[in-house]
Structure 1
């Protein structure tokens, strides 16, 4: 159990104050501490997050929750130096520790906070110009916490939520870059998409948790393929419409893991990253820690991407037994993509 000092308890009372302006000032005060401090220990950052966690616990109205989730997650950008990685790691450690005490009325808002933390994690990596050490730091925090393939203390609901929102928030980041950056293509090209997906590849390759590899395959990798396919379909529909009139689908809806009306340009960075994603799948599949069944799954994903996005000069064709294994495991189901089959 984390014990708080008197100063931290006083700050905690301000964070839980009934007056919103007092709470906002307390959050800003923590931001100043994070911005001015040298390297903070994990215990110090856990203390900050214990106070922030219960500050968020007491937020009730939806608009207040949305605003506060943005304020808390954006503190990641206020952190000085390596504290940004430590701050994120402390959040995931706190969320996983406290998760089973979160009642059903508060689950949704903490899932929203987790989504915001994923987005601002990407923002922090971007702020470092995608420095390899920073990216590896965040990915290491994810692999120890919400994308840990085997730790029983990590709730599976957090693992699956992380898989649900990860690609969404990466696409959202690219959308922000496109709308605010003078040279968006140059900035977007710096994003190491395949490297960012590697923790999920390792989860598929090593996890013994029932159904978790299937969830990750669907929520992350199939999600990428479907987004590209739907963006291509929308682009083709627009090209086929005459006089500038666009067809609309009144039945379309936006779910937690969808961003509506993405254009082909919005997801082009995913398409461009497919060759490297393929190579990463092979690389992770060849690691000694990868299980036999996990290796088959990774090779199946590789083969599915090769079938969907063929590159004859570099693609490797695996034996049909792999595809039969994957189909027998009921992995992702079948989805058509321009006349080909996504498994």
Structure 2
């Protein structure tokens, strides 16, 4: 009698099928299966079962052609994390995903790498979305940070460098896209703590450089935009608090105007010539008002376009981040090369806390391109003159 296969094995086989209709049906049934089983009190998945499912999901994307269909499939796979009932199943799904990609990463050819890059990005986006739906609970965020450290950053994790670098590249962008409007500076510091600790103790030069460039340099480069967003929030809160008082004052002014007599015509709005009333000045005023409105609209459009170009950024307490990095970098176990570069980053962060941006260190008076060309041409002419003098001196007996 033939043994009955496990449901996870059957799903994996159908997900990796050569025929697209079979794979599409398998994805839909898998979503329902996860939803029903995870909501069963006695159910739930084990790590081995999710690893079998993820192997099928991996090769389901492997078999998919055409960029738009690949994007749709990656979106479906990443959204499966929301089908689990509790945080345990969701984090186990993420852990199985990382374990599968660590195992299969070196076997991905360059023609298929882009769609797997996209799936990694979508998985982290939906993971942050899952944490957002849980109101960024400290317990859930802490467990996610521990999982990320164990599966990706520790020397014993066995994570390929390409996977590490890609996650570092997308980490700040996806976190800002999901949580920039809600996360506080203290919460953002918790999200980057694993990278701070790894930068202070790793001996992998490429990983250390990637952390500095993708995490710390991004924070420094986005500092002006983060401060601008913070000022906008402060102004918005101030305007909301003042709106109640302003509305009461407007009501009082309206009541006073109602008690006043009929309004008198403004001076200069009408002009009488040969018994006729001319509205030339009024027309001029209207034209001026129209021009002012057009200018105001153009300015507002330009401001909106500038705001649209700027991506969401995260708020950070630069002093707290500098203190954290200094605490880690000053330990005796920190490699000297890591300590030197971290100290430079710490100085920049402390300057940012004082309102000094890195670009402010450059002199204000910078020569124009024309001055540079003239200066360069003068130097070349002086060099030519010196060479000619030397040749003449050599030619004289």
TM-score range, shorter chain: 0.7 to 0.9
- Structure showing the higher helix proportion among its residues: 2
Offset of residue 283 of structure 1: 4.5
Per the alignment, residue 322 of structure 2 pairs with: 278
CA deviation profile, 1:261-318 (whole Å, cap 9, x unmatched): 126xx32xx2344344334324444667644544444443222211123279xxxxxx
Q: Which residue of the partner structure matches residue 73 of structure 2?
A: 68
**Partner Cα separation in structure 1 for residue 13 and residue 179 of structure 2:** 38
Are the aligned partners of 2:168 and 2:211 in contact in 1 as well (CA < 8 Å)? Answer: yes
Matched, 1:116 2:137: no
CA distance in 2, matches of 1:214, 1:227: 19
Unaligned residue ranges in structure 1 (runs of 5+): 176-184, 235-240, 253-258, 313-335
Among residues 360, 376, 391, which one is paired with 1:339 in the alignment?
A: 360
> 8 Å contact 1:76–1:84 — kept in the other structure?
yes
Q: Provide closer, same or farther for how the CA distance between residues 248 and 126 of structure 1 changes in structure 2, counting only shifts above 3 A.
A: closer
Contact 1:31 1:79 in 2 (8 A): no
Cα distance change of structure 1 residues 171 and 101 upon mapping to structure 2, 3 Å threshold: same
Q: 1:296 to 1:70 in 2, by over 3 A?
A: same
Superimposed CA distance per residue, residues 222-242 of structure 1 (whole angstroms, 9 cap, x where no aligned partner) = 1122234367799xxxxxx97
1:86 matched to 2:92:
yes
Question: For residues 216 and 112 of structure 1, what CA distance do their matches in structure 2 show?
Answer: 20
Specify the alignment match of 1:328 in structure 2. Answer: none
Post-superposition offset of 1:53: 0.8
The answer to whether the 8 A contact 2:9-2:53 is kept is: no
Pick the aligned partner of 2:176 from 171, 176, 186.
171
Work out whether 1:204 is the aligned partner of 2:199: yes
Secondary structure of the equivalent of 2:169?
Answer: helix
Distance 1:226 1:86 in 2: 34
Bigger Rg over Cα: 2
Aligned with residue 226 of structure 1, among 215, 221, 227: 221
The alpha carbon displacement at 1:20 in A equals: 4.2
Q: Is the 8 A contact 1:88 1:138 kept in 2?
A: no
Q: Is the 8 A contact 1:130 1:191 kept in 2?
A: no
Question: Structure 1 271/11 Cα, relative in aligned 2: closer, same or farther at 3 Å?
Answer: closer
**1:306 maps to which of 325, 328, 350:** 350
Q: 8 Å contact 1:204–1:216 — kept in the other structure?
A: yes
Q: Work out the CA distance in 2 between the residues paired with 1:292 and 1:161.
A: 26
Contact 1:229 1:337 in 2 (8 A): no
Please give the alpha-carbon distance, in whole angstroms, between the structure 1 residues aligned to 2:157 and 2:316.
36
The correspondence of residues 151-162 of structure 1 with structure 2, limited to 5 A, is 151=156, 153-162=158-167
Q: Which is worse superposed, 282-291 or 150-159?
A: 282-291
Q: Distance in 2 between matches of 1:309 and 1:274?
A: 5
Q: Map of 1:1-343 to 2, 5 A cutoff? A: 5-17=5-17, 20-35=20-35, 36-37=37-38, 38-81=43-86, 82-146=88-152, 148-151=153-156, 153-174=158-179, 187-189=182-184, 192-229=187-224, 243-244=298-299, 246=302, 261-262=309-310, 266-267=312-313, 270-285=314-329, 290-310=334-354, 337-340=358-361
Q: Deviations over 1:68-102 (max 9, x none)?
A: 11111111222222111111111011101111111
The answer to whether the 8 A contact 1:231-1:262 is kept is no
In structure 2, runs of 5+ residues without a counterpart are 230-294, 363-397
Q: Tell me the CA shift for residue 188 of structure 1.
A: 3.7
Of 76-85 and 190-199, more deviation after overlay is shown by: 190-199
CA distance, structure 2, for counterparts of residue 283 and residue 33 of structure 1? 48
Structure 1 Cα separation of the partners of residues 228 and 315 of structure 2: 14
Equivalent residue number for residue 256 of structure 1 = none
Structure 2: how far apart are the matches of 1:135 and 1:152? 20
* Residues 291 and 15 of structure 1: CA distance in aligned 2, closer, same or farther (over 3 Å): same
Distance between the aligned counterparts of 1:55 and 1:282, measured in 2? 46
Measure the CA separation in 2 of the matches of 1:247 and 1:57: 44
Contact 2:131 2:141 in 1 (8 A): yes
Q: How does the TM-score come out when normalised to structure 2? A: 0.63
TM-score by length of 1: 0.72
After superposition, give the CA deviation of every residue in 1:33-59 in whole Å (9 maximum; x if it has no partner).
333324422212211111111111111
Give, in angstroms, the shift of residue 157 of structure 1: 0.9
With over 3 angstroms needed to count, the CA separation of the structure-2 counterparts of 1:232 and 1:278, relative to structure 1, is closer
Structure 1 vs Structure 2 CA RMSD:
3.5
